[in-house]
Amino acid sequence: MATEKRLMTFEVTDTSHTLAAYRERGGTTALAKALRQMKPADVTKAVCDSGIQGRGGAAFPMGRKWQVVKPDDGQEHFLCANADEGEPGTFKDRWILENAPHLLVEAMAIASYALGVRHCVVYIRGEFDLAYRRLEAAVEEAYSAKLLGERILGTPFSCDLFVCRGAGAYVCGEASGLLSSVEGKKGFPRNRPPRLTVRGLYQKPTVINNVETLSNIPWIINNGAAKYREAGTAKSPGTRLISISGHIERPGVYEVPFGTPFDRFVFEDCGGVTGGRALKAVVPGGISTKVLTAKEIAGLPMDHASLSAAGSSIGSGGMIAIAEGTCMVRLLQVMLRFYHHESCGQCTPCREGTGWMHRIIDRIAAGRGEPGDIERLYHVAHFNDGMTICGLGDAGGFAAEGILNKFGEEFEYAIANGRTRFGGSLP
Amino acid sequence: MKRFLAELEAMKARLPAGHTSSLVMPCLHRIQDERGFVADEDIAFLAEHLGVPRVQIEEVLSFYTMFRRMPHGRHFIEVCRNVSCSMQGSEKILAHLKARLGIGPGETTPDGRITLATAECLASCGTGPVMVVDGAYRERLTEDRVDAILEELS
C-alpha cells in the first residue's frame, strides 16, 4: 500500500502558507494545466475516475455530484467550499486553511472551470481567526497573480471568489443551511428534492464540496486519476486527513491512506492513550458517528466500507480517543447538550427531541435518573431519525444510540445507584 | 456607516449581479467588529443599502450566536465546552475563570472589563482546552496560562 502523502507534503513554517512557498512546492501548475491543456469535461472526468469521495462526512462520490451540473446549459452555476468545520472533534480543514490556503484557492479555480462557474464562494466558520486571515490573504495574492479574477492566467476563463464568514451556527455546515446563510438568511436547511446540484444557491445549480475534498483536485490533475487510486482501497481511494484528540499521546492532524488499520493508527502513529491508560472507546469521525470499542477497532481497516460494516462511519475524520475510566454518562451529556443547543428549531422532532434527550441525560448524570430513561432516550433517537429536513436530529440520535448500545450498563448503574460509576470523570 | 460604502462596493464586485443579500452577513461582521455590537441604525442602514427587508436582518441577528445587539465588556472570553476540550479539562478552566472573575457565562464583570461566555467546538480539539479572547484563539490552557492571559487584559 502506498503511503505517500498528497496534502501534508511539506514542513509547516512561518511562510509555508504564502503563494511564493506554494509555488516553490509545485503549486498552481495544476490550474495552468487544466486551463491550457484540458477541456472542462476532461477535468470532471479525471475527478470521476479518481473515485474520490466527499470528506465532510457523507462520503458522496465527488464526480457523481459534479456530473449533475451541465456547464453548457445556459444557466449560472455556483460552487461553494464548505469550510464551516464544526463537527466536534474535527480540525483537519483548519489545518489546510491555515497552512495551505492556496491549495483550496487553486482547487476552487479548477473546479469552477470544470463546472462552468463564474462566481464561487468559500463559506468559512465565523470563529476562525488565523484560518480566515490566511485565506483572505491567499485570495488577494491569487487575484494579484491572475490566478483569480478576469482572464485567469491569460486564458478566456474568468472566475471570482467570495469569502463568506459564518457566525456561529453548526447547522450551516449542512449544505443547504450553508446556502441559506450565503444568501444572507438564517441558516435553515432546505427540503430536497430538488437537489442542490439542480437548485442551490439563488435557485441555480450548485456544487458544495468540503475543503479537504476540493484540496485533492490539484494533485489529481497533476498526477492523474489512476495514480490517485494507488493509495487507499478500491472503494475508498486516496488518503484521508484524520484529526485526533481526546486522551491521546500525540494529538493532531495526520494524513493516512484509506484502509490503514485503525488500531495501528491509534497506538503506533498517535502513540496510544495518554498516561498509559487502556483504551475504552473511539469516536471515529466526529461525535455524530457511533463510538467503537477498543475491541472493535482491532485490525479494522479505516475505510468507508469497513467502518460501515462495523456499524459506524469514518465521517468527518474527527477522531476522539477515550481512555478507560471515562464516564460515558457525562460524555453523552456533553454531546446531547450540544445538539440541543445547535438545533435550528425548524423541524419539530429535532427541536423538541434534542431537548428531551438533553433533559433526560441531565437528570441521569445528576443522579436523578428514572427507570425507563434509557428506553426513553432510545425512543426519542428512533423517532427523530429520518423525520427532519436535515440530519442534525438524526446525528444526536446516533451519538446516543452508539454510546447506549455499548455502555448501557453505566447508565443502568447511574439510574439504580443515584450516581455514575466513574464519578463524572472526563479528563 | 457611510464610510463602509466603498468597502461594500468592493465586496459587491466579487458577487454575481443582483445578489446583494449575500452581503448581509459580511456587513454585520464588519459593523460589529467596529462598534462592538449591531445597533438599530445599522439595521436601517443595511436594509436601505442592500435592499433587504429589515425583518431578514433581524432574523439573521437573532439566529447566529456571534452577532450581538448589545455591547459587552471591553474584553470577550469564550471557553469551549465541547467533547474534546471537556476531556482535556475545560470544565476546570471555566470554573477557574468564574472564580477569578466572580461571574458566570453570559455575565460581565461589574467594572465592564470582561464578558464571559461558553462556545461550542472551535476546531481546536488537538490543542485544547481552548478559549477565544477578543477573537483570537488561546490554546493548550492551564490555570496558570489563564491567569497570565487575564493579566494582559486591561
B141 at the A interface (CB within 8 A)? no
> Is residue A383 predicted with pLDDT exceeding 90?
no
pLDDT per residue as tens digits for the range A249-264: 999 999 999 999 999 9
Are residues A209 and A69 located together in one domain of the fold? yes
Are residues A280 and A181 located together in one domain of the fold? no
Are residues B79 and B54 located together in one domain of the fold? no
The verdict on residue A344 lying in a domain is yes
pLDDT at B6: 85
Are residues A373 and A264 located together in one domain of the fold? no
CA A308-A312-A317 angle, 5° bins: 100
B118 at the A interface (CB within 8 A)? no
Q: Which three cell numbers stand for residue B40?
A: 438599530
Domain of residue B87: give its range: 75-152
The verdict on residue B68 lying in a domain is no
**What confidence category does residue B10 fall into, taking pLDDT thresholds of 50, 70 and 90?**
confident
Are residues B113 and B144 located together in one domain of the fold? yes
Q: How far is C-alpha B101 from the geometric centre of its chain's CA atoms? A: 19
> Is residue A358 predicted with pLDDT exceeding 60?
yes
The verdict on residue B69 lying in a domain is no
Of B81, B120, B137, the CB nearest to A129: B137
Among A residues 304-363, those touching chain B with beta carbons less than 8 Å apart: 318, 320, 322, 326, 330-331, 334-335, 338, 341-342, 344
Residue in B closest to A118 by C-alpha = B16
Residue B112, min C-alpha distance to chain A (Å): 23
The verdict on residue A233 lying in a domain is no
Contact B14 A162 (CB under 8 A): yes
> Is residue B2 predicted with pLDDT exceeding 80?
no
**What confidence category does residue B125 fall into, taking pLDDT thresholds of 50, 70 and 90?**
very high
- Is residue A29 within 8 Å of residue A223, measured between CB atoms? no
Are residues B53 and B106 located together in one domain of the fold? no
Q: What is the mean pLDDT of chain A?
A: 96
Are residues A395 and A280 located together in one domain of the fold? no
The CATH number covering residue B40 comes to: 1.10.10
**How confident is the model over A225-240, as a mean pLDDT?**
96
Domain of residue A270: give its range: 239-323
Give the strand pairing for A119-124 and A160-165. parallel
pLDDT at B36: 93
Count the neighbouring beta carbons within 10 Å of the beta carbon of residue B134. 12
Q: Which parts of A125-276 are beta strand (E)? A: 160-165, 206-210, 239-246, 252-257
Helices (H), A274-366: 294-297, 304-309, 328-342, 348-365
pLDDT at A1: 43
Residue in A closest to B85 by C-alpha = A246
Are residues B85 and B41 located together in one domain of the fold? no
Choose one of A184, A200, A228: the last residue of a domain.
A228
Q: What percent of chain A has pLDDT over 90?
A: 98
Choose one of B63, B94, B113: the last residue of a domain.
B63
In chain B, the number of structural domains is 2
Choose one of A228, A252, A267: the last residue of a domain.
A228
A127 at the B interface (CB within 8 A)? yes
Residue B26, min C-alpha distance to chain A (Å): 7
Q: Which parts of A7-54 are beta strand (E)? A: none
Are residues A125 and A175 located together in one domain of the fold? yes
Are residues A40 and A145 located together in one domain of the fold? yes
**How confident is the model over A11-40, as a mean pLDDT?**
97
Contact A334 B86 (CB under 8 A): yes
**What confidence category does residue A120 fall into, taking pLDDT thresholds of 50, 70 and 90?**
very high
The verdict on residue A9 lying in a domain is no
pLDDT at A384: 84
What is d(CA A23, CA A17) in angstroms, rounded to the nearest whole number? 10
- Is residue B96 within 8 Å of residue B131, measured between CB atoms? no
Among B residues 40-69, those touching chain A with beta carbons less than 8 Å apart: 50, 52, 56, 59-60, 62-67
The verdict on residue B140 lying in a domain is yes
**How confident is the model over A358-387, as a mean pLDDT?**
95
pLDDT at A212: 98
Are residues B47 and B111 located together in one domain of the fold? no
Question: Model-level pTM?
Answer: 0.96
Are residues A43 and A138 located together in one domain of the fold? yes
The CATH number covering residue A337 comes to: 1.20.1440.230
pLDDT per residue as tens digits for the range A273-308: 999 999 999 999 999 999 999 999 999 999 999 999
Of B16, B24, B120, the CB nearest to A184: B24
Choose one of A266, A294, A323: the last residue of a domain.
A323
Contact B87 A129 (CB under 8 A): no
> Is residue A3 predicted with pLDDT exceeding 90?
no
Q: Which of A162, A248, A250, A320 to mutate to test the interface with B (most CBs of B within 10 A)?
A: A162
Residue in A closest to B65 by C-alpha = A168
pLDDT per residue as tens digits for the range A53-67: 999 999 999 999 999
In chain A, the number of structural domains is 3
**How confident is the model over A345-369, as a mean pLDDT?**
97
> Is residue A2 predicted with pLDDT exceeding 70?
no
The CATH number covering residue B148 comes to: 3.40.30.10
Are residues B81 and B47 located together in one domain of the fold? no
**How confident is the model over A89-117, as a mean pLDDT?**
98
Which own/partner pairs from A37-46 qualify as long-range (CB within 8 Å, at least 24 positions apart)?
A: A38/A221, A40/A71, A40/A113, A40/A114, A40/A115, A40/A116, A41/A71, A41/A114, A43/A110, A43/A111, A43/A113, A43/A114, A43/A221, A44/A114, A44/A115, A45/A225, A46/A220, A46/A221, A46/A224, A46/A225
The CATH number covering residue A302 comes to: 3.10.20.600
Are residues A217 and A304 located together in one domain of the fold? no
Tracing cell 468592493 back to the chain, one arrives at B10
Are residues B47 and B83 located together in one domain of the fold? no
> Is residue A119 predicted with pLDDT exceeding 90?
yes
